[in-house]
Chain A
Amino acid sequence: MNKKAYGEYVKARMPKSPLLKDCAFAFLVGGLICSLAESLLHLYLYWKIPEETAKTLVPVTLVFVSALLTGLGVFDDIAKFAGAGTLVPITGFANAVAAPAIENKSEGLIMGVGAKMFTIAGPVIVYGTLCSVVYGVIYWIVGLF
């Protein structure tokens, strides 16, 4: 058996990539979360909440719901089929904070809950902050000329 035939043999034996199905669910759930966010924004504005406050309140609401669903153990059930659909919106960030906090409660409130909260959120904040500081410095330098 030559290399090419072997490659084809392996390909035929590999489990079918569920890429299309994964993407469909990610699109559907991610899209739903974002349009839910948009609806919340319209609702808050309809309640005469000032725009800046409303724009902060939307992610805060999503974070609250995600943390609650994580606590109830429901978030994982949704994330299992939604994949990136629940990961990429701020719901994924909230879950990344709440899940290790709950899971490591037995290690205590300081090194368990307090420290493990940032297992995934930490790198996100670190790299986000670093990038924004670099941008700020460049923006300041460009503004000098």
Chain B
Amino acid sequence: MEFLLHLIKAFVVGGLFCVLAQILIDKTMLTPARILVLYVSAGVLLTAVGLYKPLVDFAGCGATTPLTGFGYSLAEGVRKAVDEKGLIGALTGGFTGASGGIAAAITFGYLFALLFRSHPKK
């Protein structure tokens, strides 16, 4: 039962992040690249002011899966590194938190670029 509640929270919060972006795309003609940049930056900012962590505690993957969650892992990584190592942590912490996603995207993107041919646009 608790599992189902987790799923619903993740669904609603994650879905709402997407709806907000959809409204921005439809109403302001922001390109997808700008949306992604906006989301990752907003994620860092919201984490910095302490608003994003409670959302992650509430919605789990509903908050970590949208690209704002990528900003969250960058900011959390930086915060932990500054706590441990001081100012140098501002430079070293970000990629510690986000390395999994970035390295996976590069590795699998490269792998499938080797394996597949491009598909003609329909």
Residue positions of A touching B, CB distance < 8 A: 17-19, 22-23, 26-35, 37-42, 55-60, 62-64, 67-68, 70-73, 76, 83-85, 87-90, 92-94, 96-98, 101-103, 105, 113, 117, 119-121, 123-125, 127-129, 131-133, 135-140, 143
Majority DSSP secondary structure for residues of B touching A: helix
Determine which of A90, A135, A143 lies in contact with B69 in the assembled complex, contact meaning CB atoms within 8 Å: A90
Which residue in chain A gives the minimum CB-CB distance to B48?
A135
Once the chains are docked, how many angstroms separate the CA of A94 from the CA of B102? 9
Once the chains are docked, how many angstroms separate the CA of A110 from the CA of B102? 18
Which chain A residues border B94 with CB–CB below 8 Å? 128-129, 132-133, 136
- A32 and B61 form a contact (CB under 8 A): no
- For the A-B complex, the count of residue pairs with Cβ-Cβ distances under 8 Å equals 276
Once the chains are docked, how many angstroms separate the CA of A63 from the CA of B101? 7
A107 to chain B, nearest CB (A): 11
Which chain B residues border A137 with CB–CB below 8 Å? 87, 90
Determine which of A41, A58, A113 lies in contact with B110 in the assembled complex, contact meaning CB atoms within 8 Å: A113
Q: Does B51 contact A (CB under 8 A)?
A: no
Majority DSSP secondary structure for residues of A touching B: helix
- B109 and A67 form a contact (CB under 8 A): yes
Q: Does B21 contact A (CB under 8 A)?
A: yes
A63 to chain B, nearest CB (A): 4
Which chain B residues border A135 with CB–CB below 8 Å? 44-45, 47-48, 75, 78-79, 90
B95 to chain A, nearest CB (A): 8
Which chain A residues border B13 with CB–CB below 8 Å? 34
